[in-house]
Structure 1
Amino acid sequence: MNALRRLVVLLCGSDPKLRRTLQYWAATCVLYVACIALLLLQVSEGMADPAAADKLVTFGGSGALLFYVLIRVSGRLKLAPDQLAVSQAVFSLACGMAAYAISGPLRGAMLIMTVVVIVFCMFAAKPRQTLLLTIAALAGMGATMYRMQASDPQRYPPMTELITFGYLAGALLSTAVLSGEMSKLRARLKRQRRELSEALDTIRVLATVDELTSLVNRRRMHEVLEAEERRQSDGRQGGKGACIALLDIDFFKQVNDRYGHATGDAVLRSFSSTARACLRGGDVLARWGGEEFLLLLPDAAPEDARVVLERMAERIHGMQVAGLPDRRISFSAGLATRRAGEPFADAIHRADKALYQAKEAGRDRIVLA
């Protein structure tokens, strides 16, 4: 199995874009094989010149192999997919013109293949390139028809060739117009897909992050706590448990009432950024509601958690908020250690009681449950 995988990588590479281009090449090869088989059948029925058919088969097969090599090394040669597509289309159109010249009574079938070549280009070439290919196909096939009716009017009647060319022109020009519309549709779908992806990213952020403070929101914090519970129940928490702290900005309502909600929002933003800068690597701070915050300190003993909270309090005391030049910001905190097997909801409840005690004792302090 590994040998087969290595062979696939050797032949098709590992780059998804390269493999997609090779898939298009493989599809054209299937078309080549089908046309070669039908051409050989024409030869066996005496409808085509054997020598000319052999030359065309050799030319077509060699060209297909050459394009495989070009696609495989396109990264080194810096060949863009649309360049490769246009080159293959030109080659296929040349083969179609040669097949038309030697196919005798079945030459009209070659015109179908000409349209198919242009249709293939709709998926890789740009609209302008497809239009130029259409013009080139009409010019080349027109020249081939003119030459054949001039050199062999019995087998290629001039009026028949003229009418046939008219049908071909209508089909190719219609295909070119459809190609342009398809290209616009693809561009529109690509733009909508990009906009949808950006909208989904925004929704994910809004679903997990508090818009004002850029902290984890309450919904996301519940998920974090559940994950921490599972981690500890699996015995992966190490030698220490986890601590939970509830923080409440002191006299925040007075700030809103006296200075306005814009200043209150500025306090919340400054508090959040300053507090987050004091955390350890695995700590998670969430906005729990209003001016209340929940702090998870995994793998932390109570003394470790208190050090974090005291460092946080010191930084908050020195915090400067625009519009509050003379007001010192502080917070009260209730700290609880999660007991073995205890749901975090119970630890939060105990931390909430400790927070209430901190407020009753005069605020700006940390109380351990």
Structure 2
Amino acid sequence: MRFYRATTFLFPHSYERRILFFCFGAVHVPLIACVVLQAATGHWAFSTLLTLLLATLAGTIMGMAAIHALLTPVREATTMLQAIQLGERIDAVPQGGSDLVGRLLDSVTKAANETAARIETLTDAAERDPLTGIRNRRGFLDSAEQALRARTNAVLALIDIDHFKRINDEFGHAVGDTVLKSLATRIEDHLRRSDIAARWGGEEFAVLLPDTNLDEARLVMERLRATVALDTRLGIEDRPVTFSCGLASVRGFTHLGEATKQADAALYAAKNAGRNQVHVLGL
């Protein structure tokens, strides 16, 4: 490190040029020695000097080209480390040997993998509901934005557990939590892989059904409602758990906010109509 610091005045912003500078000087040592020797003896062999000069120049060019190529992994490793510091993902890390550069690349690979794992863990924790394990509102919106990017025909369903406050009051919050977790599992098990489910908040869940119209979505949610109502393993022994649901069409991610209002209004209408039903405004 001492020599490195002492030579920082040479090309302070380019480590590669600093190496090339010293290599250039080292390659010319034989030529300089020959010139000094012939000047001291007074015997000049110009053909020898010319040959040595040309050979030195050729060797300098080849040496610089080789050094430039050998430093490529170092440049790539530096770029990758900078990307890792910015939280970016590294798609591919070049493999090195057992030399210094190879060990550097191995270290970058390890740092990239560990950082990517930490990012995935943090992202998953930030977008997952800790109680139910499914997406939270943030995770739902992020996934919905991707799902709706290329699709304009989708349906949003808002689900609310009927009389959930009564469940908490009569059986306790531990039972209420069990009901929430059980319903979240039923929702995810019942839906297609392309559908997106999330705990919207409290006892409310949201489901996005891409490439689906209102009639299809209503059939899906009616089957889910009936399955849940008949399920005696949701956390309350010998007592059914039901939910109400409101549906609304979604025409792209920019329309999701308006669709949420419509689905919420449909959900409110389903509750006013007696609960345990799926409702679409205007139908």
Distance change (3 Å), C-alpha of 1:224 and 1:201: closer
What does residue 135 of structure 2 align with? 216
- Measure, in 1, the Cα distance between the counterparts of 2:271 and 2:102: 69
Q: CA deviation at 1:245?
A: 1.6
What does residue 266 of structure 1 align with? 178
Kindly indicate whether the alpha-carbon contact (under 8 Å) linking 1:245 and 1:336 is maintained by their aligned counterparts in 2. Answer: yes
Residues 1:81 and 2:72 are matched in the alignment: no
Q: CA deviation at 1:292?
A: 0.5
What does residue 31 of structure 2 align with? 40
- Measure, in 1, the Cα distance between the counterparts of 2:36 and 2:219: 95
What does residue 365 of structure 1 align with? 277
Q: CA deviation at 1:202?
A: 3.3
Distance change (3 Å), C-alpha of 1:39 and 1:256: farther
What does residue 191 of structure 2 align with? 279
Q: CA deviation at 1:308?
A: 1.2
- Measure, in 2, the Cα distance between the counterparts of 1:268 and 1:283: 19
Q: Give the letter aligned to residue 31 of structure 2.
A: L
Of 237, 242, 267, 1:355 maps to 267
What does residue 160 of structure 1 align with? none
Q: Quick check: 285-294 or 194-203, which moved more?
A: 194-203
- Measure, in 2, the Cα distance between the counterparts of 1:209 and 1:297: 19
Distance change (3 Å), C-alpha of 1:260 and 1:43: farther
- Tell me the SS of whatever aligns to 2:209: strand
Q: CA deviation at 1:269?
A: 1.8
Kindly indicate whether the alpha-carbon contact (under 8 Å) linking 2:144 and 2:196 is maintained by their aligned counterparts in 1. Answer: no
Higher relative contact order (CA 8 A, sep 6+): 2
Kindly indicate whether the alpha-carbon contact (under 8 Å) linking 2:145 and 2:253 is maintained by their aligned counterparts in 1. Answer: no
- Tell me the SS of whatever aligns to 2:270: helix
Is the helix fraction higher in 1 or 2? 1
What does residue 318 of structure 1 align with? 231
Q: Deviations over 1:203-261 (max 9, x none)?
A: 32233332222323223434555566665xxxx53xxx322221111222233233332
- Tell me the SS of whatever aligns to 2:240: coil
- TM-score, scaled relative to structure 2: 0.59
Distance change (3 Å), C-alpha of 1:263 and 1:26: farther
What does residue 345 of structure 1 align with? 257
What does residue 73 of structure 2 align with? none
Q: Give the letter aligned to residue 174 of structure 2.
A: A
- Tell me the SS of whatever aligns to 2:194: coil
- Give runs of aligned pairs for residues 14-53 of structure 1, distance below 5 A: 31-46=22-37
Distance change (3 Å), C-alpha of 1:347 and 1:25: closer
Of 245, 251, 258, 2:163 maps to 251
Q: Give the letter aligned to residue 37 of structure 2.
A: G
- TM-score, scaled relative to structure 1: 0.47
Q: Give the letter aligned to residue 351 of structure 1.
A: A
Kindly indicate whether the alpha-carbon contact (under 8 Å) linking 2:149 and 2:253 is maintained by their aligned counterparts in 1. Answer: no
Q: CA deviation at 1:309?
A: 0.7
- Measure, in 2, the Cα distance between the counterparts of 1:254 and 1:350: 26
Kindly indicate whether the alpha-carbon contact (under 8 Å) linking 1:229 and 1:344 is maintained by their aligned counterparts in 2. Answer: no
Q: CA deviation at 1:125?
A: 7.0
Q: CA deviation at 1:305?
A: 0.4
- Measure, in 1, the Cα distance between the counterparts of 2:258 and 2:218: 20
- Measure, in 2, the Cα distance between the counterparts of 1:125 and 1:342: 48
What is the aligned residue count?
Answer: 225
Distance change (3 Å), C-alpha of 1:210 and 1:125: closer
What does residue 288 of structure 1 align with? 200
- Tell me the SS of whatever aligns to 1:336: strand
Residues 1:309 and 2:221 are matched in the alignment: yes
What percent identity do the matched residue pairs reach? 35
Q: Give the letter aligned to residue 257 of structure 1.
A: D
- Measure, in 2, the Cα distance between the counterparts of 1:295 and 1:125: 48
- Measure, in 2, the Cα distance between the counterparts of 1:42 and 1:340: 77
Alignment root-mean-square deviation, CA: 4.7
Kindly indicate whether the alpha-carbon contact (under 8 Å) linking 2:248 and 2:259 is maintained by their aligned counterparts in 1. Answer: yes
- Tell me the SS of whatever aligns to 1:215: coil
Kindly indicate whether the alpha-carbon contact (under 8 Å) linking 2:243 and 2:277 is maintained by their aligned counterparts in 1. Answer: yes
Residues 1:201 and 2:201 are matched in the alignment: no
Kindly indicate whether the alpha-carbon contact (under 8 Å) linking 1:247 and 1:334 is maintained by their aligned counterparts in 2. Answer: yes
Which one has a bigger Cα radius of gyration? 1
